[in-house]
Every structure is written in C-alpha cells, then in structure tokens.
Amino acid sequence: IIIVIIYSLEKEVFMTKEKYEELQKKADEDVKMPSDMNGLMQKNDIMATLIQEWIKICNRQAYNVIEIEERINQLKGKLVKYYKYEDNYKWNTLAECESQAMYNPQFIKYRKVYLKQKAYLKFFEDTLANLKGMPYSIKNDIEWKKYGMGMS
C-alpha cells in the first residue's frame, strides 16, 4: 500500500529523546529544594522565572502533540478512504475500514511518535505543577529555619 501523506513526521523535528533527557535533568535541578537559608532565598527569588520557563516548555510541547494528532487524523482519513474504495478486498462497514487503518504500519508508526510526545508533555506538566507548589514549601522552610535560629 502506497499512500502519499501531505505531512511527514520524519521530516519534522519534534521533541527528540536527547532534548527530552536534557529537560529531565533541568527538571531535576529546578525542583531540587535547597537545604540552607541562602539557597532557599535564592530559589524563592527565581521561582517566577522557572515557572515561566516551564510554561513555555509545556505550551511548545502541547502544540507538538496537537500537530501530530492532527496529522494522524489526516492519515486515518486517507487510509479509511483507501480501504473503503481502493483496496482489493471490499470492506463492508466503516468500522472494518477504520480497523484496517489502525493496523496500517504507517499509522502505527505515527501513533508511536504521538504517544511518546504525549508522555513527554505529561512529564513537563507534572514538573510545572511541582514548581508551582514550591513557593509555599520554600516559604515554610524559611520560616522553620528562622524559628530554629530564634529569629521569629
């Protein structure tokens, strides 16, 4: 089966595994809670910047996921049309044509890319959620440290 697709995922540069691993390391650093008072205060000062960086990362990745999903839907439509009208075997129902489309090797390949990109997005969203909760933890730690030093 040869089907020409308007867009090719192979030619696009979505989030690579290497870039994802680089962002995982950044996430580990960004969510790390300092143990000393100076570190806590410095971390508190940069939290808004970190949160904004991760919002941008999440938005960019969400766009990638939507873009791939749209391309998969286009491919599925073309495959269903192919199986309904052009395949040597005549499939009786739309459900049968959709089933054939879902097992098409090209569709499976694109679906794997989609699922990987979606998993990356989930990690980024979880990192952002952790960062958004950190200012409260930082302030709490600062107050405890002040209390421990007799500064309250």
Query: Cβ contacts of residue 6 below 8 Å, gap of 6+?
Result: 74
Give the pLDDT of residue 17. Answer: 92
118: nearest Cα among 75, 72, 65: 65
134: nearest Cα among 36, 48, 53, 59: 48
Token pair 């691993």 is found at 21
Mean pLDDT, the chain, integer: 87
CA distance 86 to 107: 17
Token output for 18:
């290497």
Of 35-39, 45-49, 82-86, 124-128, which gets the smallest average pLDDT? 35-39
CA distance 34 to 135: 12
DSSP 93: S
Tell whether the model's pLDDT for residue 19 goes beyond 50: yes
Confidence category of residue 6, pLDDT binned at 50, 70, 90: very low
User: Which of the given ranges, 11-15, 100-104, 140-144, has the highest pLDDT on average?
Assistant: 100-104
Token pair 């439509």 is found at 77
| pLDDT mean over 110-135 | 94
Tell whether the model's pLDDT for residue 151 goes beyond 90: no
Give the pLDDT of residue 11. Answer: 55
